[in-house]
Amino acid sequence: MFLEHRKQDLKKTTAIALAVLFLDQIVKFVVVKNIFSEIEIYKNYNALFGLPIDFNLIFIFFISLVFIFVYYFILQKTPPFKKGAGGISLILGGIAGNLSDRIFYGYIIDYINLLNLFVFNIADLAICFGVLLLSWKILKK
């Protein structure tokens, strides 16, 4: 019974993560192809919160390890899906979206500019909302 729940959790997690990845990449494709000319593209070569990095391959390796760790966490350590795995799914999808940018472009494509203070994308939003959702579930206990 426990293993069956894990398989269902894996399917739900994968479906949500792939939906986030797909949405993120579709929007980035539209932005890059300049379909809406009023949207400005920002090439983000930096790490979290704009921290500079010099080695893109090392960063890709590190983020890949984080992705594997989070995926393992959902498979092995979380209670049933309703208890927080939704947040982990959003985090995984966001990580996958930004990681694919790093692999294919060498930078992350950002296009949402908030008051000239923050520039981000759908993957970043998914990661932030996933962390908030997961934190809420943990603190709610």
Q: Could you list the residue range(s) of the whole structural domain that residue 16 is in? A: 2-32+41-140
Higher pLDDT, 106 or 57: 106
**Mean per-residue pLDDT over the chain, rounded:** 78
Q: How many domains does the chain have?
A: 1
**Which positions are annotated as active-site residues?**
110, 124
- State how far the Cα of 101 lies from the Cα of 124, in Å rounded to an integer: 12
- pLDDT band at 20; cut points 50, 70, 90: very high
Q: Give the single-character DSSP code of 117.
A: T
Contact 90, 16 (CB under 8 A): yes
Which amino acid is located at 37 in the chain? Answer: S
Q: What is the pLDDT of residue 117?
A: 74
At 19, list the tokens: 């939906």
**pTM confidence score:** 0.77
Element containing residue 121 per DSSP (H, E): none
The answer to whether residue 110 scores a pLDDT higher than 80 is yes
